[in-house]
């Protein structure tokens, strides 16, 4: 196979021509041959094929075209190979006229340097005969024409070198006709005109040589309105005076215009106190050092404004500069610079060439010519380029060397996905240790260490954004009289935070504003609406609700915001707003009031309410539905499975909590009244009752403002249970009694039965066992009458615990067994854990220890399956008690220690005294009396504080036994007497103590 591209495209197989039909096939093949041996990304083939307006199917069409070329050209699959992000033409020097042309030029240069002028001239002449005209005869389009212009420049330089050698060899007369033709083709090229004048002069045609200067002057005046350059004018003067030294053009005239006199080093100042980004810096340096030869290495850093991309690129460039002997260049492309229009490729090429030392009068004034000049300058050089602050792929694509072992570092806010073959690294927030180091560098270690807590809070408020940290550090450095805490307090003001993080016109708000202004108007509107989201994390469904669109369209909007780095992609379908971005978007939203902002917030709250109710209905089967909820098509299939429902609630907990606050503050009272119920239910598994109770308090207030007794009763009951789990029993009872009264006023027998069951649960904890027994029995009887299955099971479960404490062990076992059966029938897992634990306790009291352990293990398995931190310590303690009774102290100790560790981390206090009692019993069984006593004292203190009378009595009884074993019989009698008194008041028999 043979290919020719220096002119019209020709493809031969032996002596036969191989036709290549269609402009698309010709352009793709020529583009691959122009870069023979190097990978040509598909994006560059698209640009070559369609110029500036490729169709949406362009990449697909290019791949189809390559397939056609492979089938049309003999041995096509071996000649056009797929390589990484594109294709590569595999041809040797004898197969392609361009490669032969370039090889001959290299040989000519080597011969000339060796003093073999005749051989050099022969090689130049042979190389020039391969030229048949512009690539694709000038019909190749913008990209190919630019490459053709560069080759034409190479051809003319070679011709000038040949004519210099011919003139030196006394062959001036022989070349005048050739020179005349070239000058007519390129009348503005003064270097060619000078050779023609010299050839004429040395051929004895002085007048003709002078006339040639006159023609050049007239042409330049007519076409450009300028005079001939200094070199041509000086040659004219020397011919006029017949300078005897005139033998050939001066080197400056003959020198190729792209030859610079010195190696450029144009990197900006490297920040001396650069901190952090150690892993990212290592990534850049490793990627640069492992780069393959023969092609540029393109590394791109993206991230939100103020993320330290430029500082990292400059630091890496300084560390790598010695690997690039031909120099380093830096350019700010002004993609996001206040008051600046982003540079286009034409402007950037000019600035880079100027920085490389190319005179301005040698820079082509048309885009194709300048692009070719840039590529010609970079060809064969090993340089380091930093293209900073890019706005789009088009801005940098034509700055990347086509054939060079150079390193190109690009920084941009959006990820420039249009750059094929680039390796990407996104910069996120700085880790706290690295942010802390910036603070120490600026303020000194001593000042930071005086206020460690304030320093940590400062860094949290800056969100790991290097720009924010540096501005905060600079403000403190310039105000030595300020404490770190003072700046922290100023930053805590959400409305002022962005103002505080501004210094000398540079600030976080300004950096974010540029990203915001770069978006289309529709994107800006969407961004402002998304700013009404109450939490930091959001998913596509929440975005769809805010934007009033479908999920796929919403996801597209979110991904566009990720691209401009105003949103962070956390995991598939989940996104996050940086705290400072949140402050920014809320400020923008306040300044540009959206007419539909209120409706957007209502849609989001509807979405939350519907989804949370569906999830909780799955997790807590048999619970009463409250009101009629319009699903609006949001019947979610994944909520049919408990693990998916729980996962959704886990992921959205913080947003749901914030949504209650937002709804309450905006006066959307229905949502503020109904959402807290779902949080209370979820908290019963995940144990975040302090936060859930705050939402429930607002739910009670919103319900009362609405005048809705049913909602008020519901929120009071759920708030009471949240307070019960925190051990706030008196407050729980007060709210339950109010809820019972409201139920009676409404004649709502379902609600009254439910509230009385919860009141029985609280009374049991307070040691009012007979009242608890009565309330639970009444609630259970009413639940059975009403067919309220869930209440039937939960009232039986509580009843079994009361019966154990009253010594009614057989009845307790029967109640617990019925409760477990009911819960299993409706697939209720959470409440079944309590019932199984109570059944284990009843069996232990009956002496059926193997069964007791089996039920405890069953409770533990379900508890772990649901990951229920609220009751896990209690279940572990239950298991430890049984093991201790079975004479397995070591295994009991493992379970007790595990229970204690979990209880220490839990926010729920209601079971903590029980856990300490269990640990005390296990340590007593092991003979560790001091630890047993310490645990029993802790249990006693907690029980007294929370009014847990049964646990208080058990603690005193255990202390009596322990101190007696320690030899203090007097104190033992005191403890036992106090315990007996409490047990008697509660009507607890000897068998249950």
Confidence check: pLDDT of 261 > 60: no
Q: Of 271-275, 858-862, 960-964, give the lowest mean pLDDT range.
A: 271-275
| Residue pLDDT, tens place only, 951-978 | 999 999 999 999 999 999 999 999 999 9
Q: How many CA atoms lie within 13 A of 287 on its CB side?
A: 23
Q: Which of 329, 326, 328 is nearest to 382 (CA)?
A: 326
| Residue pLDDT, tens place only, 196-212 | 888 888 888 888 888 88
Joined tokens for residue 523: 């994107």
Going from the C-alpha of 123 to that of each of 107, 127, 251, 271, the distances in angstroms are: 7, 6, 21, 51
Pairing state between β 574-576 and 537-539: antiparallel
Find all residues with CB under 8 Å of 979, minimum gap 6, and list them. Answer: 953, 954, 956, 957, 960, 993
Mean pLDDT of 316-344: 88
Mean pLDDT of 24-46: 88
Find all residues with CB under 8 Å of 432, minimum gap 6, and list them. Answer: 456, 459, 464
Mean pLDDT of 299-311: 88
Comparing 792 with 375, which gets the higher pLDDT? 792
d(CA 216, CA 187): 7
- The structure tokens 């308090």 sit at 697
Mean pLDDT of 38-53: 83
Confidence class for position 251, pLDDT limits 50, 70, 90: very low
Joined tokens for residue 234: 């000086």
Mean pLDDT of 403-416: 87
Strand partners, 384: 328, 407
Backbone angles phi, psi at 87, to 5 degrees: -130, 160
Comparing 514 with 617, which gets the higher pLDDT? 617
Task: Identify the pLDDT of residue 633.
Answer: 46
Q: What average pLDDT does the structure give for the chain?
A: 88
Joined tokens for residue 488: 């922290």
Joined tokens for residue 118: 């005749």
% of residues, the chain, pLDDT over 90: 46
d(CA 222, CA 233): 17
3-state secondary structure of 17: strand
Residues 963 and 979: beta-carbon distance below 8 Å: no
Confidence class for position 921, pLDDT limits 50, 70, 90: very high
**Per-position b or e across 160-185, b if 16+ CB within 10 A of its CB:** bbbbbbbbeeeebeebbebbeebbee
Confidence class for position 638, pLDDT limits 50, 70, 90: low
Joined tokens for residue 718: 């759920």
| Residue pLDDT, tens place only, 81-120 | 988 778 899 999 999 999 999 899 889 988 888 888 889 9
Q: Of 271-280, 450-459, 831-840, give the lowest mean pLDDT range.
A: 271-280
Going from the C-alpha of 586 to that of each of 530, 560, 579, 592, 745, the distances in angstroms are: 9, 19, 11, 10, 44
Comparing 604 with 509, which gets the higher pLDDT? 604
Task: Identify the pLDDT of residue 254.
Answer: 36
Counting beta carbons within 10 angstroms of the beta carbon of residue 521, is it exposed (0 to 12), middle (13 to 18) or buried (19 or more)?
A: exposed
d(CA 980, CA 977): 5
Mean pLDDT of 480-489: 90
The two most distant CA atoms of the chain are separated, in Å, by 138
Task: Identify the pLDDT of residue 242.
Answer: 82
Pairing state between β 10-13 and 2-4: antiparallel
The H-assigned helical ranges of 480-629 are: 484-492, 497-500, 508-517, 521-530, 540-547, 551-563, 579-591, 597-619
Q: Of 21-30, 244-253, 326-335, 727-736, give the lowest mean pLDDT range.
A: 244-253
Mean pLDDT of 438-443: 85
Confidence check: pLDDT of 555 > 50: yes
Angle in degrees, CA 258, 400, 358, rounded to 5 = 20
Find all residues with CB under 8 Å of 509, minimum gap 6, and list them. Answer: 498, 499, 501, 502, 584, 587
Confidence class for position 250, pLDDT limits 50, 70, 90: very low
Tell me the Ramachandran region of residue 507: left when phi exceeds 0, alpha when psi lies from -120 to 50, beta otherwise: beta
% of residues, the chain, pLDDT over 70: 96
Euclidean distance between the first and final Cα of the chain, in Å? 100
d(CA 951, CA 986): 12
The helices-and-strands tally (H runs, E runs) of the chain is 46, 16
Confidence check: pLDDT of 132 > 60: yes
> Residue 244 CB: number of other CB atoms within 10 A?
7
Confidence check: pLDDT of 549 > 90: yes
The kind and range of the H/E element at 41 are: strand 40-41
Residues 455 and 440: beta-carbon distance below 8 Å: no
């Amino acid at each position: 196979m043979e290919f020719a591209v220096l002119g019209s495209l020709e493809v031969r197989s032996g002596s036969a021509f191989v036709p290549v039909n269609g402009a698309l096939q010709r352009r793709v093949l020529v583009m691959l041959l122009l870069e023979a041996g190097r990978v040509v990304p598909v994006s560059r083939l698209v640009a070559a094929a369609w110029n500036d307006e490729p169709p949406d199917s362009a990449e697909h069409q290019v791949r189809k075209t390559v397939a056609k070329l492979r089938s049309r050209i003999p041995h096509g699959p071996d000649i056009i190979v797929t390589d990484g992000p594109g294709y590569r033409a595999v041809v040797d020097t004898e197969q392609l006229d361009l490669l032969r042309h370039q090889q001959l030029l290299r040989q000519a240069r080597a011969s000339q340097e060796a003093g073999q002028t005749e051989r050099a001239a022969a090689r130049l002449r042979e190389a020039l005969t391969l030229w048949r005209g512009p690539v694709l005869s000038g019909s190749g389009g913008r990209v190919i024409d630019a490459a053709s212009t560069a080759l034409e420049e190479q051809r003319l330089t070679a011709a000038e070198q040949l004519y210099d050698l011919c003139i030196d060899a006394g062959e001036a007369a022989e070349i005048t006709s050739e020179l005349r033709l070239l000058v007519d083709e390129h009348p503005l090229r003064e270097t060619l005109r000078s050779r023609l004048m010299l050839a004429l002069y040395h051929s004895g045609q002085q007048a003709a040589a002078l006339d040639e200067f006159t023609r050049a002057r007239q042409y330049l005046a007519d076409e450009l309105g300028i005079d001939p350059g200094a070199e041509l004018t000086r040659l004219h003067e020397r011919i006029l005076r017949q300078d005897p030294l005139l033998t050939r053009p001066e080197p400056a005239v003959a020198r190729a215009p792209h030859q610079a006199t010195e190696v450029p080093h144009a990197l900006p100042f490297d920040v001396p106190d650069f901190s952090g980004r150690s892993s990212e810096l290592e990534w850049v340096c490793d990627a640069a050092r492992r780069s393959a030869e023969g092609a540029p290495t393109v590394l791109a850093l993206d991230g939100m404004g103020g993320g330290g991309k430029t500082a990292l690129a400059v630091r890496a460039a300084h560390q790598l500069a010695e690997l690039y002997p031909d120099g380093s260049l830096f350019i700010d492309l002004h993609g996001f610079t206040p008051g600046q229009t982003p540079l286009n490729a034409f402007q950037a090429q000019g600035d880079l060439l100027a920085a490389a030392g190319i005179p301005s009068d040698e820079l082509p004034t048309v885009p194709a010519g300048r692009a070719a000049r840039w590529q010609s300058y970079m060809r064969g050089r090993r340089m380091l380029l930093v293209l900073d602050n890019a706005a789009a792929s088009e801005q940098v694509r034509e700055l990347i060397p086509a054939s060079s072992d150079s390193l190109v570092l690009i920084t941009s806010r959006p990820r420039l996905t249009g750059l094929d073959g680039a390796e990407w690294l996104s910069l996120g927030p700085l880790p706290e240790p690295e942010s802390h180091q910036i603070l120490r560098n600026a303020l000194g270690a001593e000042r930071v260490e005086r206020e460690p807590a304030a320093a940590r809070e400062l860094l949290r408020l800056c969100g790991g954004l290097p720009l924010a940290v540096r501005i905060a550090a600079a403000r403190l450095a310039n105000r030595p009289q300020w404490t770190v805490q003072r700046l922290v307090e100023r930053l805590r003001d959400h409305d002022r935070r962005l103002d505080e993080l501004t210094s000398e016109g540079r600030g976080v708000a300004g950096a974010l504003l540029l990203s915001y202004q770069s978006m289309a108007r529709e994107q800006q509107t969407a961004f402002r609406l998304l700013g009404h989201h109450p939490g930091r994390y959001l998913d596509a469904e929440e975005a769809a609700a805010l934007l009033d669109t479908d999920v796929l369209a919403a996801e597209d909007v979110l991904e566009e915001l990720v691209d401009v780095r105003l949103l962070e992609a956390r995991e598939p379908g989940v996104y996050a707003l940086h705290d400072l971005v949140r402050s920014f978007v809320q400020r923008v939203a306040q300044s540009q009031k959206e007419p539909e902002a209120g409706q957007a917030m209502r849609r989001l709250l509807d979405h939350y309410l519907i989804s949370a109710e569906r999830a909780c209905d799955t997790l807590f089967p048999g619970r009463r539905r409250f009101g009629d909820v319009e699903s609006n098509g949001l019947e979610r299939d994944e909520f049919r499975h408990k693990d998916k429902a729980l996962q959704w609630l886990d992921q959205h907990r913080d947003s749901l909590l914030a949504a209650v606050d937002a709804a309450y503050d905006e006066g959307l009272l229905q949502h503020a009244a109904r959402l807290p119920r779902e949080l209370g239910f979820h908290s019963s598994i995940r144990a975040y009752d302090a936060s859930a109770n705050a939402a429930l308090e607002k739910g009670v207030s919103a319900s009362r403002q609405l005048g809705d007794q049913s909602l008020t009763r519901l929120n009071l009951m759920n708030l009471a249970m949240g307070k019960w789990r925190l051990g706030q029993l008196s407050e729980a009872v007060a709210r339950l009694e109010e809820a019972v009264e409201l139920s009676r006023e409404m004649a709502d027998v379902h609600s009254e039965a439910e509230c009385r069951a919860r009141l029985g649960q609280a009374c049991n904890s307070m040691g009012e066992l007979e009242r608890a027994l009565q309330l639970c029995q009444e609630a259970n009887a009413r639940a059975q009458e009403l067919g309220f299955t869930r209440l039937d099971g939960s009232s039986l479960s509580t009843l079994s615990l009361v019966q154990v404490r009253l010594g009614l062990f057989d009845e307790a076992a029967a109640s617990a067994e019925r409760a477990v059966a009911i819960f299993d029938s409706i697939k209720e897992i959470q409440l079944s854990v309590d019932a199984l634990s109570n059944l284990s306790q009843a069996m232990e009291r009956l002496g059926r220890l193997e069964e007791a352990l089996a039920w405890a293990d069953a409770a533990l398995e379900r508890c772990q399956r649901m990951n229920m931190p609220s009751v896990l310590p209690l279940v572990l303690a239950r298991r430890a008690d049984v093991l201790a009774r079975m004479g397995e102290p070591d295994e009991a100790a493992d379970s007790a220690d595990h229970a204690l560790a979990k209880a220490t981390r839990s926010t729920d206090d209601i079971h903590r005294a029980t856990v300490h009692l269990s640990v005390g019993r296990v340590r007593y069984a092991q003979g560790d009396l001091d630890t047993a006593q310490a645990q029993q004292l802790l249990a006693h203190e907690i029980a007294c504080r929370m009014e847990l009378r049964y646990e208080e009595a058990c603690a005193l009884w255990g202390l009596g036994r322990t101190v007696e074993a320690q030899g203090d019989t007097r104190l033992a009698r005191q403890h036992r007497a106090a315990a007996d008194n409490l047990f008697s008041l509660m009507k607890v028999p000897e068998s249950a103590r």
